Amino acid sequence: MSKIAFIGTGGTIASLGTGPLDIVHYGNNKTMLPADGILAAVPQVREVAEVIAVPFANIPSPSIGFAEWKALALLCSRLVAEHADLAGIVIGHGTATLEETAYALGLTLKVAIPVVVVGSQRPLSGLASDASMNLVNAVRVASDPQSAGRGVLVLLNDEIHAAREVTKTATYRLQTFRAPDFGMLGYVDGDVVSYYRRTERVTAPDTEFDLAMLEALPRVDIAYAYAGADGVEVDAFVAAGARGIVAAGFAPGMAPPGQAAALERAAKAGVVIVQATRAGSGVVHDNARLSALGFVPSDNLNPQKARVLLALALSHTQDRAEIMRMFKTY
């Protein structure tokens, strides 16, 4: 039986509401189980693998950012060093920022074993909660030899996704995590793990980024395009010390005049601008306009993931060509 480490960070998958029907406002109950408590509540996990509980935090995922990403990366490395027979790692996580944590780890982890990030849409205590099945399936995926070499994976709703490609698309539906452009990597049906494709982009541990070497990430903000936006937020980001700004523009990558002017001013002041789109899918390609402005196209990364990659890129360089290479690589 494979040995799997389960790291609990809190979130819905760890939450208890006031009763089985409390599946919306359960956060008001302010009760989350630690990793060992979750495993105790889902004893079926022990039938799938030898699972060791690793406490980390009991927090909602909106509270997770760089400090937690770094601590998780270091913890994963320590677990691999301490357990020579460790086959995989599962990280329980709230769904609000799950995709950003998964992508950040996919860019920075230095462990070769599978790492699966799992969450749930309903609390552990809820009627027909998806928490238990998601956890069991995440352990199955982390245990499966086919999962090796695929980077950080995300598991919800019986679906296996690449961390780079998946995003949360609905507030309460169980099928919220989707990869709009390319679809899932595979399924889990009972005890059968089936893969049908893999991501083409470079993933952990074969990346040039290492959170252990950083004390903080450069400030990067997101400017959202909407009809009539005048760019006041862009000026505020620059005044606050932003070294990068992701422009979540109109598809396929444009801003209204006032915001566009503010982004140009920011670029002239030395702020790196990445042009993304608010559309939810599709590619922002390089073109004469972006090149003339010195903007970096986001490829098909959504704004929140483009922000993660830009912050890591800026910890190395501000050169447009180098940052464009990184966006094409990762």
Report the catalytic residues: 12
8 Å CB contact between 313 and 282:
no
- Can you tell me which residue has the tokens 């140009």? 264
In whole angstroms, what is the distance from residue 286 CA to residue 18 CA? 51
In whole angstroms, what is the distance from residue 270 CA to residue 255 CA? 19
Q: Provide the token pair at 53.
A: 């509980």
In whole angstroms, what is the distance from residue 205 CA to residue 221 CA? 27
Type of residue found at 215? E
Q: Provide the token pair at 5.
A: 């480490």
* Nearest of 269, 278, 206 to residue 234 by alpha carbon: 269
Indicate the SS3 state at residue 82: helix
Strand order in the sheet with 296-297: 220-224, 244-249, 272-277, 296-297
8 Å CB contact between 79 and 95:
no
8 Å CB contact between 241 and 221:
no
